[in-house]
Amino acid sequence: MEPLIVINFKTYEQATGENALNLARICDAAAKETGVNIIIAPQHADIYRIASEVSIPVFAQHFDNIKYGSNTGHILPESLKAAGAVGSLLNHSENRINLASIEACVKKLESLGMASIVCTNNVATTMAAAALDPDYVAIEPPELIGSGISVSQAQPDIITGSVKVVKKISKEVEVLCGAGVSTADDVKSAMELGAEGVLLASGVVCAKDQDKALRDLINF
């Protein structure tokens, strides 16, 4: 089975504006050459430019639970779709939203034909998120985010526990392994524990050589 690699650009300088476009091209080229499934999640203002230039899927990092109308400065999911996004992260640890909003946003993405990745922080919240029927749940223990220590190696029980409770709720929700992922071994161990892929950011975005870091990561 092929792992899915989701790269969150966050608001890193190395992934803003021109830099975001460059990184997107690196990911696009690597995906084409290796056949690995790579999804990128750049900032809202970079989505249009990137989606116009690459063929790998572009996701948003977040949007608001709003409808067309008077919501100055908020992120309308329809604006993301119009810009070329085909999915979105939701409830990232740096941008938590409430339970009712997660549910409404998952449904909204589905109605727009877009995919959803709901981020969670432990086994219990992963089970809760699975009950909302997203496409993916990405489990990221907060203490490992940005640590360089992979959850799949440091806390394998969280992955196996998450896979177990998710599958109890629904066979169709897939589990991604986030937090601390940076090497091909991290990806391999995540897959062996039952995850369908990984969600990462700094491991690639902040690497001195982004292309090399990505190639190393997907050389599993």
For its own copies, which residue of 105, 129, 175, 193 counts as binding (CB under 8 A)?
129
What part of residues 169-208 is at the interface with its own copies (CB under 8 A)? 169, 201-202
Which range binds its own copies by CB under 8 A, 28-36, 78-86, 150-158, 174-182?
78-86
Catalytic residue, chosen from 13, 18, 74, 140, is 140
CB 104 within 8 A of CB 132: no
Nearest Cα residue to 86 out of 63, 57, 64, 62: 57
Instruction: Supply 17's token pair.
Output: 């504006």
For position 111 contacting its own copies by CB under 8 A, the verdict is no
Instruction: Supply 66's token pair.
Output: 């709003």
Instruction: Supply 78's token pair.
Output: 């329809």
Residue listed under structure tokens 């109890």: 168
For its own copies, which residue of 124, 157, 192, 219 counts as binding (CB under 8 A)?
124
For position 83 contacting its own copies by CB under 8 A, the verdict is yes
Catalytic residue, chosen from 62, 92, 103, 196, is 92
Told to judge if 140 belongs to the known catalytic residues of this protein, a careful annotator would answer yes
Told to judge if 192 belongs to the known catalytic residues of this protein, a careful annotator would answer no
Calpha distance 186→208 (Å, rounded): 19
CB 206 within 8 A of CB 14: yes
Nearer to its own copies, 76 or 207 (CB): 76
Supply angle C-alpha 162, 167, 172, rounded to 5: 115
For position 68 contacting its own copies by CB under 8 A, the verdict is yes
For position 2 contacting its own copies by CB under 8 A, the verdict is no
CB 162 within 8 A of CB 126: yes
The edge-to-edge listing of strands for the beta sheet with 37-41 is: 37-41, 4-8, 197-200, 174-178, 136-139, 115-120, 87-90, 59-60
What is the nearest approach in angstroms of its own copies to the Cβ of residue 83? 4
For its own copies, which residue of 32, 33, 53, 71 counts as binding (CB under 8 A)?
71
Q: Which residues form the catalytic set?
A: 92, 140
Contacts with its own copies, residue ranges (CB under 8 A) = 8, 10-13, 16-18, 20, 43-49, 60-63, 66, 68-76, 78-83, 85, 89, 91-103, 120-122, 124-125, 127-133, 145-146, 165, 169, 201-202
